[in-house]
Amino acid sequence: MKLARSYVADVEFSAEDALRSDIDFLCRVIEAVVKVGATTINLPDTVGYSTPDEIGQFFKTIRSRVSVPDNVIFSAHCHDDLGLAVANTLAAVDAGVRQVECTINGIGERAGNAALEEIVMAFIVRADRLPYETAVKTRHIFAASQLLGQLTGQGVQVNKAIVGRNAFAHEAGIHQDGILKDRRTYEIMRAEDVGVPWDPLVLGKHSGRHAVQKRCSDLGLTWRATRSSRSIAR
């Protein structure tokens, strides 16, 4: 640790499986590594075992019990084995963590890690509850997600939040009608803000006539309505 600090200003210490460690011993370890140069303390939920309330309380307890300088940064590293990586990360930030370790598309060991795109957009969309900022340029999120998928050969599931193919798609007629009138009716963020081309209307068995009319108009077709039927003409 001392040798590392002689070369760089920021040295991170990571305690494997910290959430399941003996907390008294963990506090002693943290104080020891800070004394010899650690400036970032990463406490991972290595096996994705924690819950949001638990991890929040964990970081509050650690921060209240260890004696370290104010410039020491606590970091969270959450895995998604129970599907809670992002929720746990947000809870950790609320508990005083100021660095989070996350990945694009949530890729990682086993079920993966906390997804960067979900964390970043949660901060933006719910700034009322999560008043935190990042330096991420959100308009590049979708392109980064697509590039990673191409490089790894692992695409994201279609219903993946933020970057999935269906994230901004609407098939139900009532949703399509609402979107056509005011996008805010059924969208909590703009697709363009994360770099996704906005083409929300999916024509299917649940679609309504407003969506069909809009698609016809986009194709240069004229929609004519009669009492008994509706027809389409060029």
- Please say whether the beta carbons of 187 and 179 come within 8 A: yes
Between 121 and 233, the more confident residue is 121
153-157: long-range contacts, CB 8 A cutoff, minimum separation 24: 154/105, 154/107, 156/105
Highest average pLDDT, of 2-6, 135-139, 192-196, 219-223, comes from 135-139
Place 187 in a pLDDT band, splitting at 50, 70 and 90: confident
Place 90 in a pLDDT band, splitting at 50, 70 and 90: very high
- Say which DSSP state 195 is in: T
Bridge partners (DSSP) listed for residue 14: 42
Amino acid at 82: L
- Please say whether the beta carbons of 36 and 72 come within 8 A: no
pLDDT reading at 225 higher than 90: no
CA–CA distance, 49 with 58 (Å, rounded to integer): 13
CB atoms within 10 A of CB 204: 11
> How confident is the prediction for the chain on average, in pLDDT?
87
pLDDT in tens, 5-48: 989 999 999 999 999 999 999 999 999 999 999 999 999 999 99
pLDDT at residue 184, as a whole number: 75
Q: What is the value of pTM for the model shown?
A: 0.83
pLDDT reading at 170 higher than 90: no
CA–CA distance, 55 with 78 (Å, rounded to integer): 10
Highest average pLDDT, of 103-107, 177-181, 189-193, 200-204, comes from 103-107
Question: Minimal CA–CA distance to 142: which of 194, 64, 80?
Answer: 194
For tokens 């997600």, the residue is 145
pLDDT at residue 2, as a whole number: 87
Place 185 in a pLDDT band, splitting at 50, 70 and 90: confident
How would you list the strands of the sheet with 73-78, edge to edge? Answer: 12-14, 40-45, 73-78, 99-101
pLDDT reading at 112 higher than 70: yes
pLDDT reading at 179 higher than 80: no
Question: Token pair for residue 184?
Answer: 């805010």
Between 234 and 141, the more confident residue is 141
Burial of 202 per CB tally in 10 Å (0-12, 13-18, 19+): middle
pLDDT at residue 168, as a whole number: 74
pLDDT at residue 130, as a whole number: 97
200-209: long-range contacts, CB 8 A cutoff, minimum separation 24: 200/168, 200/169, 200/170, 200/176, 201/169, 201/170, 201/176, 202/169, 202/170, 202/171, 203/171, 204/171, 206/171, 206/172, 206/173, 207/171, 207/172, 207/173, 207/176, 208/173, 208/174, 208/176, 208/177, 209/173
